[in-house]
């Protein structure tokens, strides 16, 4: 059974078709990179997978660990192990990051029939993760993403991924807007995360991140469809030649 | 009731019913509230006692501008203003007896100059700007020491744009005026107002953003010297979706003055995506100044962005010290900061002239 | 996918039960005879009767205020009963053992500890809070009186204070909210039946939190309690107030007056969690909460702090205020007002700066949902003598849904040239993006909304005593339920 199976997916926003027959299959233990020019539908795929309201699947099939996704509420998908790192994480003033992380983890545990983790154990785990991502522990007390720099917001996404231990992590342009140090921190977080039991879908515009997180497969998305798939060398070819030769 | 109000005849474009409504509204809770800091009775009486003036609002109007007296029209024009909120508009209209219907049918080549208000109650002006036209209007106060009142009802058709600049820099000017504007789809009204007051000046500004995407930008700076009783009342009604308002008003009191600002933003139920921002800052340089401000919000839609701020304060001590440490005298430092404060509320063609007038006034006042 | 994240089943108002006790209730209507009757019931001295009658005559000549942003049919003051007491309390219980067990059960059900031993769940643990419980028109029990007495603190029903401490009552009653202050205050002065009296002597820090719990039970009665708290020089007291009422189809009037007096260096912290019955979804029934609360910082460097969490009442008309007379005195107002369904709230504060270097802070958080209307109304006034006065106001509104209203009416009147006044207001909603982020992390929408609303209120909740903060958070959650997204 595949971790993720997408068959001939047509989807869009506000009646505008964006994905036009996308097919993709991922197994546990794999890292896939999804690349493509702006507007090709990369973020749409991430949002459709996560079940963002407003994104509509018009045809095709979508299954996660063998179960169809299209009718599931976003929180149910999340609890089942589907994680999305946001391109633009939103701020939630007044709700502390710690409180938010705890609520998120509790919900995942509850869905798996577990009670909340002891606060002390939880705190220790979160602190260890924060240090690993070079985040100031103070930031746990601040409101979710409130006043965070771009880099802090992205590292916060990775922190949540590491904490919630999903089976599929979809990283939507997590590398955009990061300086080289932040990029390396994020990359090492992803490398720490990847294992034989989970999968990572890296959505990116640039090849840069793939120097640090080496993918097993690279796909090129253009006009709502995967037009080319290959190994990591495909990313290098894209870096040298751009996207135009693929879509021409 | 003020003397003469009962006997006032109603012109046909207002009607007996309209005038009766104004009389009633003079005693309403709403009127008491909006005139909380100004003498409504005195102003009403001044309106009734003042002479009427029927001079055309624009001299040498270009061909793109058509002016007709109400009395010359076959059917009376619709006098579109809320008489419940602005009863004085009806009373002033009745005192004047006649009015002017002005239509801007195409974009004029040059700014239109509104004739300075003559002493007395000017004939109300209905100013209609046709779709897509762009008009600049300049209104310079005459600085008369006698009471002057004027009502302008402005309507902007879709995509029309009006940039209205007003300067009341003759310190003796005193009076009341109303500018009520109604904006259709994507119309834009920009209103710059600068005022140097040493007497009673009351301005009511009412902007109805009816059409989708209509926008209002209001910027103002006022220097209130001794004897000033400055009262600015701004109401913005966001009725259409995605309407935008930006209001910035800086008031400075230097001398025994009373400065009042009321900024009211009303977001109606269907105005989704409305975006309103209002900032009113006030400084008092002297001990006997009084500053009142009331930034109101009334919101009936959750899909909005509204921010409001009002401050009352004094000159920044750190700023004063910094300037003094660079060799300025205390009074020069104070003047400089005061001008800086006012300047950030200046915009439009009168900005330079206003800045000069403010400097002169502050130097003469020798507030240090 | 789910249509609206918030459309979940309404939870019932938890305090909405009635207590079946025999009551001695005056027939509806108000005249001088009623005022005299109440006074006689309380065996009041002559000066008290005269004071009430003077208030009654003033009230007769006054009109109901019409300026608030609330709408309701005119109240028939002749249809209200102005006095109701459980029969068993006719002669006043001497100890808790004499109190009708039915009444004790009422408070137990509400989680209010009237037994000094044994910690009960609910608003507070019995060990650190002294409670005065007011049921309709009378105080039924006051706990920990002896322990407080040791510290010199007087905490008793105001009817008892009129007998036992007439000098203090006569000196301060009406000194902050005079008889002619406003329509509802005048009415209260005439007919108030009970309430709490607190006096903390010089230099004493009250050893425990004091609390009054108000309960309206009887049908067609009004509740008119009167609270007077005096903190003498250097004293400190923290006071909590809670309120509930049964669910009834008709509206009931609650017109209380609270007066606080802080002398030199004294501090009074007054917290309210107001959970009067708000009426049903269609706006039927519920309490009209028309309350006058005001504190006077008479002494230098004195401080009065109001914290309120308002989730109940059909209509709230309430402006806990501070008159800052003493040099360097401090006034604070922290408020969360949540309205849902057809509730209307017009609430805020007045900070009147009279003395030099006085400071005030106002933090107001309004949450509107359903078809409710929620207004902040505030006044910050500085007099010419208030040199160096400072005020900071922050006024935030959160709208849940597009059928409710959120309004802000702040008046700033400044006559002090060296004062600094800052007012900021914002309006926001729970954005789809915020909701989606939470959902993507596995948090269901109800929990997400409640987390976000709690975060929005955080600046106010942290001013509440611990036990109350927890209760306030829970109350908010209940009030939020059924809020249409």
Report pLDDT digits (tens) over A77-130.
999 999 999 998 888 888 888 888 988 999 899 988 998 888 889 999 999 999
Q: Span B6-32, mean pLDDT?
A: 92
Residue C404 CB contacts under 8 Å (≥ 6 apart), including other chains: B300, B302, C339, C368, C369, C370, C371, C372, C373, C374
Q: What is the DSSP letter of C358?
A: -
The pair of structure tokens assigned to C276 is: 């009067």
Beta-carbon separation of A53 and C438 below 8 A = no
Residue A12 has pLDDT above 90, yes or no: yes
| pLDDT value at residue C265 | 97
Residue given tokens 């929180």 in the structure block:
A75
| pLDDT value at residue B317 | 80
Q: Span A51-67, mean pLDDT?
A: 91
- Spatial distance between the Cα atoms of C24 and A98, rounded to a whole number of angstroms: 54
What SS3 class is residue C466?
helix
| pLDDT value at residue C10 | 38
| pLDDT value at residue A235 | 83
| pLDDT value at residue B178 | 96
Chains A and C physically touch (3 or more Cβ atom pairs below 8 Å): yes
| pLDDT interval class at C106 (50, 70, 90) | low
Residue C93 has pLDDT above 60, yes or no: no
Which domain range does residue A67 map to?
4-247
List the single residue in C384, C412, C427 with the smallest CB-CB distance to B299. C427
Least confident of A102-116, B330-344, C119-133: C119-133
Beta-carbon separation of C436 and A52 below 8 A = yes
Beta-carbon separation of C397 and B297 below 8 A = yes
The mean pLDDT of chain A is: 90
| pLDDT value at residue C12 | 56
- Spatial distance between the Cα atoms of A93 and C456, rounded to a whole number of angstroms: 7
Find which of A14, A47, A53 to mutate to test the C interface (most C CBs within 10 Å of its CB): A53
- Spatial distance between the Cα atoms of C412 and B251, rounded to a whole number of angstroms: 14
- Note whether B29 and B4 are within 8 A (CB): no
| pLDDT value at residue C91 | 52
Q: CA A175 → CA A155, A183, A233, C350, distances in Å?
A: 10, 6, 19, 51
Question: In this complex, is the C-beta atom of C384 within 8 Å of any C-beta atom belonging to chain B?
Answer: yes
Beta-carbon separation of A90 and C434 below 8 A = yes
Question: In this complex, is the C-beta atom of C436 within 8 Å of any C-beta atom belonging to chain A?
Answer: yes
Burial string for B192-210 (b: 16+ CB within 10 Å, else e) reads: bbbbbbbbbbbbbbbbbbb
What SS3 class is residue C160?
helix
Beta-carbon separation of B269 and C384 below 8 A = no
Give the residue on C whose Cα is nearest the Cα of A145. C434
Q: Span B6-19, mean pLDDT?
A: 92
Residue given tokens 């400071």 in the structure block:
C359
Question: In this complex, is the C-beta atom of A104 within 8 Å of any C-beta atom belonging to chain C?
Answer: yes
- Spatial distance between the Cα atoms of C339 and C462, rounded to a whole number of angstroms: 21
Beta-carbon separation of C442 and A160 below 8 A = no
Q: How far C429 CA lies from chain A's nearest CA (Å)? A: 11
- Spatial distance between the Cα atoms of A171 and B73, rounded to a whole number of angstroms: 69
The mean pLDDT of chain B is: 91
Q: Span C280-288, mean pLDDT?
A: 84
The distance in angstroms from the start CA to the end CA of chain A is 36
> Which of these, C234, C270, C92, C265, lies nearest to C152 by C-alpha position?
C234
Least confident of A239-248, B317-326, C344-353: A239-248
- Spatial distance between the Cα atoms of A29 and A108, rounded to a whole number of angstroms: 22
Beta-carbon separation of C409 and B296 below 8 A = yes
Angle (nearest 5°) at CA C130 between C125 and C133: 100
Residue A162 CB contacts under 8 Å (≥ 6 apart), including other chains: A129, A132, A133, A189, A192, A193
> Which of these, C229, C225, C377, lies nearest to C298 by C-alpha position?
C229
Contacts with C374 from chain B: Cβ below 8 Å: none
Contacts with C431 from chain A: Cβ below 8 Å: 90
Distance of CA C181 to the CA centre of its chain: 18
| pLDDT interval class at C138 (50, 70, 90) | low
| pLDDT value at residue B367 | 47
Question: In this complex, is the C-beta atom of B312 within 8 Å of any C-beta atom belonging to chain C?
Answer: yes
CB count in 10 Å sphere of residue C168: 17
Contacts with C441 from chain A: Cβ below 8 Å: 75, 78, 100, 103-104, 107, 160, 164
Beta-carbon separation of C425 and B312 below 8 A = no
| pLDDT value at residue C9 | 29
Beta-carbon separation of B311 and C421 below 8 A = yes
- Spatial distance between the Cα atoms of C392 and C390, rounded to a whole number of angstroms: 7
**What's the length of chain A?**
248
pTM exceeds 0.90 for this model: no
- Note whether C464 and C238 are within 8 A (CB): no
- Spatial distance between the Cα atoms of B219 and C142, rounded to a whole number of angstroms: 60
Q: Is C397 left (phi over 0), alpha (psi -120 to 50) or beta?
A: beta
pLDDT digits (tens, 9 = 90+) for B109-167: 999 999 887 889 999 999 999 999 999 999 988 777 788 999 999 999 999 999 999 99
Beta-carbon separation of A53 and C1 below 8 A = yes
Contacts with A73 from chain C: Cβ below 8 Å: 1-2, 439, 444
- Note whether C176 and C165 are within 8 A (CB): no
Beta-carbon separation of C437 and A86 below 8 A = yes
- Note whether C484 and C370 are within 8 A (CB): yes
pLDDT digits (tens, 9 = 90+) for B284-307: 988 889 999 999 999 998 889 999
Please report the DSSP string for C254-274 in residue order: E--EEEEEE-TT-EEEEEEEE
- Note whether C9 and C481 are within 8 A (CB): yes
Q: Which helix (H) or strand (E) holds B317?
A: helix B317-325
- Note whether C254 and C276 are within 8 A (CB): yes
| pLDDT interval class at A165 (50, 70, 90) | very high
What SS3 class is residue C81?
strand
Count of structural domains within chain B: 1
Give the residue on C whose Cα is nearest the Cα of A160. C441
Residue C118 has pLDDT above 70, yes or no: no
Contact partners of C by the rule of 3+ C-beta pairs under 8 A?
A, B
- Spatial distance between the Cα atoms of A92 and C432, rounded to a whole number of angstroms: 11
Least confident of A21-30, B54-63, B121-130: B54-63
| pLDDT interval class at B38 (50, 70, 90) | very high
- Note whether A217 and A3 are within 8 A (CB): no
Q: In chain C, positions 401-460, which contact chain B (CB-CB < 8 Å)? A: 401-415, 417-429
| pLDDT value at residue C122 | 35
Contacts with A78 from chain C: Cβ below 8 Å: 439-442
Q: In chain A, positions 158-177, which contact chain C (CB-CB < 8 Å)? A: 160, 164
- Spatial distance between the Cα atoms of C418 and B317, rounded to a whole number of angstroms: 11
Q: CA C128 → CA B30, C116, C134, C205, C269, distances in Å?
A: 50, 9, 19, 14, 16
Signed CA dihedral, B17, B19, B23, B29: sign only? positive
Share of chain C above pLDDT 90, in %: 48
Beta-carbon separation of C421 and B312 below 8 A = yes
The pair of structure tokens assigned to C156 is: 């008793």
CB count in 10 Å sphere of residue C175: 14
Residue B242 CB contacts under 8 Å (≥ 6 apart), including other chains: B212, B213, B272, B273, B274, B275
Which domain range does residue B321 map to?
2-364
Q: In chain A, positions 81-100, which contact chain C (CB-CB < 8 Å)? A: 83-84, 86, 89-96, 99-100
> Which of these, C443, C417, C411, lies nearest to C430 by C-alpha position?
C443
| pLDDT value at residue C466 | 75
Burial string for C240-273 (b: 16+ CB within 10 Å, else e) reads: bbbbbbbbbeebbbbbbbbbbbbbbbbbbbbbbb
> Which of these, C357, C355, C358, C362, lies nearest to C320 by C-alpha position?
C362
pLDDT digits (tens, 9 = 90+) for C36-86: 999 998 899 999 999 999 999 999 999 988 888 889 888 888 888 888 776
| pLDDT interval class at B1 (50, 70, 90) | low
Q: How far C140 CA lies from chain B's nearest CA (Å)? A: 43
Q: What are phi and psi of A131, to 5 degrees?
A: -60, -45
| pLDDT value at residue C116 | 52
Chains B and A physically touch (3 or more Cβ atom pairs below 8 Å): no
Contacts with C477 from chain A: Cβ below 8 Å: none
| pLDDT value at residue C257 | 95
Residue C365 has pLDDT above 60, yes or no: yes
Distinct helix (H) and strand (E) counts, chain C: 10, 23
Contacts with C407 from chain B: Cβ below 8 Å: 296-299
> Which of these, B240, B133, B269, B117, lies nearest to B179 by C-alpha position?
B117
Residue A60 CB contacts under 8 Å (≥ 6 apart), including other chains: A6, A7, A8, A9, A10, A11, A21, A22
A-C Cβ pairs (cutoff 8 Å, strict): 88
Q: CA A174 → CA A35, A106, A178, A186, C330, distances in Å?
A: 13, 25, 8, 8, 48
- Spatial distance between the Cα atoms of C473 and C436, rounded to a whole number of angstroms: 23
| pLDDT value at residue A130 | 92
- Spatial distance between the Cα atoms of C219 and A132, rounded to a whole number of angstroms: 63
A203: domain CATH number?
A: 3.40.50.300
Q: How far A205 CA lies from chain C's nearest CA (Å)? A: 23
Residue C451 has pLDDT above 50, yes or no: yes
- Spatial distance between the Cα atoms of C276 and C12, rounded to a whole number of angstroms: 13
Global ipTM: 0.89
Beta-carbon separation of C452 and A95 below 8 A = yes
| pLDDT value at residue B146 | 82
Q: How far A230 CA lies from chain C's nearest CA (Å)? A: 30
Beta-carbon separation of B297 and C419 below 8 A = no
Residue B84 CB contacts under 8 Å (≥ 6 apart), including other chains: B21, B25, B28, B30
| pLDDT value at residue A69 | 87
| pLDDT value at residue B72 | 93
List the single residue in A52, A54, A79 with the smallest CB-CB distance to C442. A79
Residue B193 has pLDDT above 70, yes or no: yes
Contacts with C415 from chain B: Cβ below 8 Å: 289-291
Q: Span B203-211, mean pLDDT?
A: 97
Question: In this complex, is the C-beta atom of B287 within 8 Å of any C-beta atom belonging to chain C?
Answer: yes
Beta-carbon separation of A78 and C441 below 8 A = yes
Q: How far A181 CA lies from chain C's nearest CA (Å)? A: 26
The pair of structure tokens assigned to C401 is: 């849904």
- Spatial distance between the Cα atoms of C144 and B185, rounded to a whole number of angstroms: 68
| pLDDT value at residue C99 | 64
Q: CA B86 → CA A227, B17, B177, B343, C338, distances in Å?
A: 66, 15, 11, 31, 34
| pLDDT interval class at B71 (50, 70, 90) | very high
- Note whether B98 and B44 are within 8 A (CB): no
Q: How far C455 CA lies from chain A's nearest CA (Å)? A: 4
- Spatial distance between the Cα atoms of B16 and B83, rounded to a whole number of angstroms: 13
> Which of these, B262, B244, B240, B215, lies nearest to B307 by C-alpha position?
B244
Beta-carbon separation of A107 and C444 below 8 A = yes
pLDDT digits (tens, 9 = 90+) for A193-235: 999 999 999 999 888 889 899 999 999 999 999 999 999 888 8
Beta-carbon separation of A94 and C437 below 8 A = no
Beta-carbon separation of C442 and A100 below 8 A = no
Contact partners of A by the rule of 3+ C-beta pairs under 8 A?
C
Count of structural domains within chain A: 1
């Amino acid at each position: 059974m595949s971790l993720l199976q997408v068959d001939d997916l047509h989807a869009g926003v506000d009646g505008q078709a964006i994905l036009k027959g996308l097919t993709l299959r991922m197994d546990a233990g794999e890292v896939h990179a999804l690349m493509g020019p702006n507007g090709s539908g990369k973020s749409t795929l991430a949002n459709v997978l996560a079940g963002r309201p407003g994104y509509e699947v018009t045809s095709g099939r979508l299954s996660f660990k063998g179960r169809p996704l299209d009718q599931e509420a976003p929180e149910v998908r999340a609890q089942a192990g589907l994680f999305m790192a946001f391109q633009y994480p939103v701020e939630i003033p007044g709700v502390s990051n710690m409180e938010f992380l705890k609520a998120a983890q509790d919900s995942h545990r509850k869905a798996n029939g577990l009670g909340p983790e002891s606060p002390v154990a939880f705190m220790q785990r979160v602190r260890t993760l924060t240090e690993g991502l070079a985040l100031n522990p103070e930031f746990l007390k601040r409101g979710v993403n409130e006043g965070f720099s771009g880099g802090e917001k992205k590292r916060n996404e990775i922190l949540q991924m590491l904490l919630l231990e999903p089976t599929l992590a979809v990283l939507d342009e997590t590398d955009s807007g990061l300086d080289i140090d932040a990029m390396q921190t994020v990359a090492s977080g992803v490398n720490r995360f990847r294992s034989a039991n989970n999968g990572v879908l890296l959505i990116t515009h640039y090849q840069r991140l793939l120097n640090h997180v080496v993918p097993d497969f690279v796909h090129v998305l253009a006009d709502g469809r995967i037009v080319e798939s290959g190994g990591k060398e495909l990313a290098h070819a894209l870096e040298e030649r751009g996207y135009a030769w693929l879509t021409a | 009731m003020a003397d003469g109000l009962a006997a006032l005849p109603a012109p046909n474009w207002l009607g007996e019913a309209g005038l009766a409504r104004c009389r009633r509204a003079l005693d309403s809770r709403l009127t008491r509230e909006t005139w909380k800091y100004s003498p409504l009775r005195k102003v009403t009486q001044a309106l009734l006692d003042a002479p009427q003036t029927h001079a055309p609002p624009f001299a040498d109007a270009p061909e793109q501008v058509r002016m007709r007296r109400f009395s010359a029209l076959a059917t009376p024009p619709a006098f579109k203003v809320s008489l419940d909120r602005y009863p004085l508009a009806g009373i002033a209209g009745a005192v004047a007896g006649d009015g002017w219907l002005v239509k801007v049918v195409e974009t004029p080549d040059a700014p239109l100059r509104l004739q300075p208000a003559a002493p007395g109650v000017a004939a109300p002006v209905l100013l209609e700007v046709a779709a897509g036209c762009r008009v600049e209007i300049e209104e310079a106060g005459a600085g008369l020491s006698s009471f002057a009142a004027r009502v302008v009802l402005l309507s902007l058709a879709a995509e029309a744009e009006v940039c209205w600049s007003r300067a009341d820099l003759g310190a003796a000017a005193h009076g009341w005026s109303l500018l009520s504007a109604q904006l259709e789809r994507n119309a834009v009204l920009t209103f710059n107002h600068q005022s140097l007051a040493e007497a009673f000046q009351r301005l009511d500004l009412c902007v109805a953003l009816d059409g989708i995407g209509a926008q209002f930008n209001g910027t103002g700076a006022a220097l209130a010297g001794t004897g000033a009783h400055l009262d600015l009342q701004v109401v913005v009604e966001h009725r259409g979706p995605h309407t935008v308002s930006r209001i910035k008003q800086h008031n400075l009191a230097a001398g025994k003055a009373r400065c009042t600002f009321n900024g009211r933003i009303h977001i109606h139920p269907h105005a989704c995506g409305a975006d309103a921002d209002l900032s009113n800052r006030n400084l008092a340089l002297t001990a006997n100044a009084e500053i009142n401000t009331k930034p109101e919000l009334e919101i009936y839609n959750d899909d909005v962005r509204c921010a409001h701020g009002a401050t009352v304060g004094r000159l920044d001590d750190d700023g004063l010290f910094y300037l003094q440490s660079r060799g300025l005298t205390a009074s020069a430092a104070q003047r400089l900061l005061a001008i800086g404060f006012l300047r950030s509320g200046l915009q439009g063609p009168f900005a330079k002239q206003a800045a000069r007038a403010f400097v002169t006034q502050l130097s003469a006042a020798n507030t240090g | 996918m789910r249509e609206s994240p918030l459309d979940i089943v309404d939870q019932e108002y938890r305090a909405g039960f009635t207590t079946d006790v025999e009551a001695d209730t005056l027939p509806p209507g108000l005249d001088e005879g009623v005022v005299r009757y109440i006074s006689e019931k309380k065996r009041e001295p002559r000066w008290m009767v005269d004071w009430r009658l003077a208030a009654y005559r003033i009230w007769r000549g006054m009109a109901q205020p019409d300026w608030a942003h609330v709408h309701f049919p005119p109240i028939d003051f002749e249809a209200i009963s102005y006095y109701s007491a459980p029969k068993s309390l006719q002669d006043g219980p001497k100890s808790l053992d004499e109190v009708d067990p039915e009444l004790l059960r009422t408070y137990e059900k509400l989680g209010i500890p009237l037994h000094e031993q044994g910690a009960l769940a609910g608003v507070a643990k019995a060990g650190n809070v002294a409670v005065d419980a007011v049921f309709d028109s009378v105080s039924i029990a006051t706990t920990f009186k002896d322990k407080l007495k040791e510290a010199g603190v007087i905490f008793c029903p105001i009817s008892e204070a009129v007998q036992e401490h007439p000098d203090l009552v006569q000196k301060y009653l009406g000194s902050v909210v005079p008889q002619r202050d406003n329509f509802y205050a005048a009415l209260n002065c005439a007919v108030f039946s009970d309430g709490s009296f607190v006096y903390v002597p010089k230099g004493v820090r009250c050893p425990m939190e004091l609390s009054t719990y108000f309960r309206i039970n009887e049908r067609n009665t009004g509740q008119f309690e009167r609270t007077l708290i005096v903190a003498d020089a250097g004293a400190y007291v923290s006071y909590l107030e809670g309120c509930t009422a049964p669910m009834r189809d008709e509206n009931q009037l609650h017109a209380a007056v609270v007066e606080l007096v802080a002398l030199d260096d004294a501090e009074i912290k007054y917290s309210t969690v107001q959970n009067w019955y708000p009426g049903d979804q269609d706006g039927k029934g519920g309490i009209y909460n028309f309350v006058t609360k005001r504190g006077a910082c008479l002494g230098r460097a004195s401080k009065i702090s109001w914290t309120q969490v308002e989730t109940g009442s059909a209509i709230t008309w309430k402006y806990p205020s501070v008159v800052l007379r003493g040099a360097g005195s401090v006034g604070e107002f922290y408020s969360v007002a949540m309205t849902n369904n057809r509730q209307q709230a017009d609430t805020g504060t007045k900070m009147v700066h009279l003395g030099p270097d006085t400071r005030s802070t106002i933090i107001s958080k309004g949450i509107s949902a359903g078809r409710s209307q929620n207004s902040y109304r505030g006044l910050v006034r500085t007099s010419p003598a208030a040199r160096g006065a400072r005020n900071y106001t922050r006024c935030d509104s959160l709208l849940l849904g597009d059928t409710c209203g959120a309004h802000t009416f702040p008046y700033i009147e400044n006559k002090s040239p060296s004062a600094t006044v800052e007012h900021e207001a914002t309006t926001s909603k729970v954005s789809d993006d915020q909701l989606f982020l939470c959902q993507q992390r596995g948090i269901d929408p109800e929990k997400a909304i409640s987390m976000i609303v709690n975060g929005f209120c955080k600046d106010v909740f942290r001013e509440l005593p611990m036990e109350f903060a927890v209760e306030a958070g829970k109350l908010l959650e209940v009030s939020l339920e059924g809020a249409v997204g």
